[in-house]
Structure 1
């Protein structure tokens, strides 16, 4: 099946134009963040559909002592941070949303890198002096390797712990499948490369193509993941944060 009204295989020539007549927005991200994005998308006049995309399993991180700071690459790492790190330890977070959640968890000194792992490395290099006292890096099983390598190259001692694992959700919620069948979804929001890839792969596994759906991606990596799974038209947010993704989506067009 095609994600459009023409079941014979016809393709609308302009995916972006096509999406104007479909107000459904499929949000590809897990919690935390999914629920607040649903509300924000609805406030812009779109019809949100939630696709958690990734199943998150917490890791086990032992209590950390003798560290100069903690680094978190995702909000998914916050439960491990709470369990393993004292509240007085300075925390450097990858982005503003993650930093906000770390503060809400009770940590007293929190700074945001404002975007991605490269900026997080720059922030650490700016704020700290390399020493024998380590920093602890809490990340997903597939995250943090390049960040840890960059910091070690800069002279830092890094303890990297897997705070969580994320596995692709291979099926879509029933309401999303019904919306695809009814040709109601015009946009997919991808908040990471993995979530975008998982969601578009699940669309295709359900018997649909994505060539008439517009993509909005948080980063170039996320944009490439959408493109590899058949999204023809992709807009990349100007900055790798949730607010910029919503800015790239914009208000729903009026009828």
Structure 2
């Protein structure tokens, strides 16, 4: 099955490799790009750094590498490790798990720095503040929608059943909305509507609902593993299983 990967880089290429390993064909056409805001981190001493996305890691160049890091999931933790952070604790993949990890590790009253995106949710900062922690939110990066639907996606959607994608993966509410808006502007909403929409979470699926679209599949946990587990088996061998020619 040919699957459109609409998430921004660097995650899009990684997801494409995983799809290929599963025997699917990936159409990489991000509808968002991640850009640093250039805002400096707040001044002051902190007892920990909260990372709810690996996209924040490049902006943390000036943050001390011995500061304890609380990462939302394994991939974010790995990016922090590669960036030189030495004390990293990893949650199970969502904000609720992350808040629980912090409360188990640090005492109430501890001061935390949350390196976040411009489009962020209330958690985990709300739960941590309610538990007595001081959370300084630093807007370190932002997701910007592309000005037009990537040509490779537009061309594939126009091809329809002959060579077009059969499904699309949505990793965030923002990217789901951006994909829908760009398809509508390109006059390809009908083709977009006909795709099977695989969503990382109910919140992501809500982005499609704003356009009257229903998700074909919603992951049980907000992780790439859970999302890819919802795909049907491939009808062609993966590269690893192909017989030598």
Alpha-carbon displacement from aligned partner over 1:160-190 (angstroms, at most 9, x marks no partner): 1101121222422211111101111110101
**TM, length-normalised to structure 2:** 0.87
Alpha-carbon displacement from aligned partner over 1:207-246 (angstroms, at most 9, x marks no partner): 1223321011111111121233354442011211112211
Alpha-carbon displacement from aligned partner over 1:138-176 (angstroms, at most 9, x marks no partner): 101121544222211110011111011212224222111
Q: Select which of 219, 239, 244 maps to 2:201.
A: 219
**8 Å CA contact 2:42, 2:136 repeated in 1:** no
Q: Which residue of 1 aligns with 2:51?
A: 72
Alpha-carbon displacement from aligned partner over 1:54-89 (angstroms, at most 9, x marks no partner): 1222022237552111001111100122x2321111
Q: Structure 1 CA distance, aligned partners of 2:121 and 2:184?
A: 30
Residue 248 (structure 1) aligned with residue 230 (structure 2): yes
Return 94-103 or 54-63, whichever deviates more. 54-63
**8 Å CA contact 1:148, 1:158 repeated in 2:** yes
Q: Which residue of 2 aligns with 1:198?
A: 178
CA RMSD between the two structures:
1.9
Q: Select which of 142, 147, 164 maps to 1:165.
A: 142
Q: How does 1:42-121 map to 2 (within 5 A)?
A: 42-59=20-37, 60-62=39-41, 65-81=44-60, 83-121=61-99
Aligned residues: 231
Q: Which residue of 1 aligns with 2:243?
A: none
Distance change >3 Å, CA 233–CA 126, structure 1 → 2: same
**TM, length-normalised to structure 1:** 0.84
Q: Which residue of 2 aligns with 1:6?
A: none
Q: Structure 1 CA distance, aligned partners of 2:167 and 2:212?
A: 13
Q: Select which of 117, 120, 132 maps to 1:155.
A: 132
Distance change >3 Å, CA 229–CA 41, structure 1 → 2: farther
Distance change >3 Å, CA 73–CA 175, structure 1 → 2: same
Q: Which residue of 2 aligns with 1:38?
A: 16
Q: Structure 1 CA distance, aligned partners of 2:58 and 2:223?
A: 21
Residue 179 (structure 1) aligned with residue 156 (structure 2): yes
**Secondary structure class of the residue paired with 2:230:** helix
**Secondary structure class of the residue paired with 1:182:** helix
Higher RCO (C-alpha 8 Å, min separation 6): 1
